[in-house]
Structure 1
Amino acid sequence: MLSRNRLALPQMIILIFAALLAACSRGAENASSSSTYHGYLTLAQPEDLTPAQLQDGGLLQVVATTSIVADVVTNVGGDAIELNSIIPRMTDPHGYQLTPGDLRMLHDADLVFINGLGLEEALEQTLAQLPEDIPIVSLSEGIQLRELTSERTDTNADHETEAHADTGVDPHVWFDPLNINVWTDNTAQSLAALDPANAATFQANSDAFHNQLEDLHNWTLTQLEEIPQADRKLVTDHLLMGYFAQRYDFEIINALLPAYSSAASPSAQELADLQDSIRQSGVKVIFIGINSNRQIAEQMARDTSLAVVPLYTGSLSALNGPASTYLTFMQYNVRAIVNALK
């Protein structure tokens, strides 16, 4: 891997400005996105990566986009890598804007891991401008994806929501712990390709994390037994629990924001239709992201006599919080769902 010089501050500012302009001009261009759901990015496949040129004793420099991605990479890479995360904890990944420090971190990376599937759409233009010798790997490559249903695509939404509709897939794959097995394998294979000397360490860490994910899945099944089948119905702030519902046999009744992005805005007609579907379904709870705007949920709760229950959704909690790792993130959410619906 070739050596790289740090970006000067003026160059960083220019890149940020260019990314902001691009984010507002996507529109029809996204309609021709490729089947990999990353219209701006050229993604590297783990099997195609080649060893990085590390100095003696030097660690692989790795960047992850979200705190959830970073936690999985940490479990696999351990002390054999130096890992930085772009989007801070307790921050919604939809619409995050890069800082000059983020750009410097990306430029110094040997490898960048992303969730992919349009989740980091606000970052994609800048990621696409990184040097070709900095590979970008989507951890979600190989997951069986949930397609965006046709009735969800005709919505009154902003730029980001239109992009999710155009890609046609749900990016919130981490709500199914068994999907994280794919993330784990992609991480281990990618790290081993760039740093073969530590391949055995990465594989051992991967095996151990697979066991933890299997334990989490089995624990979740046991916890959810407390919820009667008739009550396994979810209303959320946006369409984010699809993989969870698919894995654990729940029904998605509706969402306050009829899109895969928390940045969407519902129309008056959509809110009226949502109230009707809630009343007909008999649900008693709205689940919203802890970092989400509660205004619409609280108004809907008043109008329909529902309780509002917060969940961690696109980010881990603070390090001293109740959802500071992926495993505790899922445990917190499962307990909250069980307590609300049992």
Structure 2
Amino acid sequence: MFRRAALFLVLLPIAAAGCGGSGTGGSDAPTVVATTTQLADFARNIAPGVKVTSILSPNTDPHEYEVRPDDVKALASADIVLRSGGEVDAWLGGALDAAGVKEQDVVDVGRAAGLEGGDPHWWQDPVRAERAAVAIGHAFAAAGLPDRSAAYVARLRRLDAGVRACLDRVPAAERKLVTSHDALGYYARRYGITVIGAVIPALTTAAQPSAGDVTKLVDTIKREGVKTIFAESSVNPKVEEAIARETGAKLGPALWADSLGPKDSDGATYIASIAANTRALVQGFTGGAVVCPVDA
């Protein structure tokens, strides 16, 4: 992670050169800057035609991200900044200072969505994503930008219903989840899934598992009869592969946890990512006995 004071000193000239405060940076087109790929996707759906910039790129781990000069330049010319909240974009604070962005131009979407207990992965629950969409829509409308949040919320509700319909086909006793880190807590609570453990037993991938953590997880997987463990798209799956070999569990498809995927992936949009995760989880929980495309 960068040092806040150092970032300010190094990037201040860049921000001063490009800063238009909360203006449009010399362009008539309004500009939205989102910290995460999920927020950027929300913004594009809620305000088609508005220029949206995502600080994080697809398949980027937000927990270990270091702000770049181009990020500060983008923030300096933004009309609205969307913050996800919590540790997932804690690095934003220093960049905002360097860019001279006013707090009134930053929308804390995580707070509106209902971020709880320090877990920043609120978007894994489509109902919280609905709250986020409404908050973004209100902010856009107040700034004179398009607000099509109602139509997007309707799609999110269809997604939620489709996910529940698929997971209802899996007996509750078989919904046993092991992932790379503790990123799917909101999803698990929403859909009645038991979180058995994680390779990194923390809310951030910046943490490192100890040998004791891994041994304990292996024992738990064997005891619970976990059929499949799931790596995540933005992490190296070597430890997950080793645990799968040790326990006899299968290694499922990589989940879209902290980031969306590139355009040609099945996680290119928020809705697609949740649908893809659900298909993978249902198939993994049941050992391939149930395959359920999500109706979203």
- TM-score interval for Structure 1 and Structure 2 normalised by the shorter chain: 0.7 to 0.9
Q: Return the TM-score normalized by structure 1.
A: 0.74
Residues 184-203 of structure 1 mapped to structure 2, 5 A cutoff:
184-195=133-144, 198=145, 201-202=146-147
Residues 250-269 of structure 1 mapped to structure 2, 5 A cutoff:
250-269=193-212
Residue 102 of structure 1 corresponds to 71
Aligned residue for 1:129, secondary structure, equals helix
Change (3 A) 1:111 1:138: same
Distance 1:20 1:57 in 2: 27
Aligned residue for 1:235, secondary structure, equals strand
Match of 1:277 among 220, 223, 236: 220
Residue 127 of structure 2 corresponds to 178
Residue 85 of structure 2 corresponds to 116
Question: Structure 2 regions of 5+ residues with no counterpart?
Answer: 11-21, 287-296
Aligned residue for 2:218, secondary structure, equals helix
Residues 47-196 of structure 1 mapped to structure 2, 5 A cutoff:
58-79=28-49, 81-133=50-102, 135-147=105-117, 169-195=118-144
Residues 307-326 of structure 1 mapped to structure 2, 5 A cutoff:
307-309=250-252, 310-326=254-270
Change (3 A) 1:332 1:55: closer
Deviation at 1:17, TM superposition (A): 4.3
Q: Does 268-277 or 253-262 show the bigger shift?
A: 268-277
Question: Structure 1 regions of 5+ residues with no counterpart?
Answer: 1-12, 22-51, 148-168
Residues 212-227 of structure 1 mapped to structure 2, 5 A cutoff:
212-227=155-170
- Percent identity, aligned pairs only, is 31
Deviation at 1:55, TM superposition (A): 10
Change (3 A) 1:54 1:340: closer
Distance 2:181 2:107 in 1: 26
Change (3 A) 1:230 1:238: same
Q: Return the TM-score normalized by structure 2.
A: 0.85
Distance 1:250 1:260 in 2: 17
Deviation at 1:20, TM superposition (A): 11
Aligned residue for 1:293, secondary structure, equals coil
The alignment of Structure 1 onto Structure 2 pairs a total of residues equal to: 272
CA contact (8 A) 1:16 1:126 kept: no
CA contact (8 A) 2:24 2:79 kept: no
Per-residue CA distance 1:276-304 (angstroms, 9 max, x = gap):
22122111211110221111111111111
Change (3 A) 1:238 1:185: same
Q: Which amino acid aligns with 1:231?
A: E
Residue 18 of structure 1 corresponds to 7
Query: What RMSD in Å do the two structures reach over aligned CA positions?
Result: 2.5
Matched, 1:229 2:172: yes
Distance 2:198 2:3 in 1: 38
Distance 2:76 2:137 in 1: 22
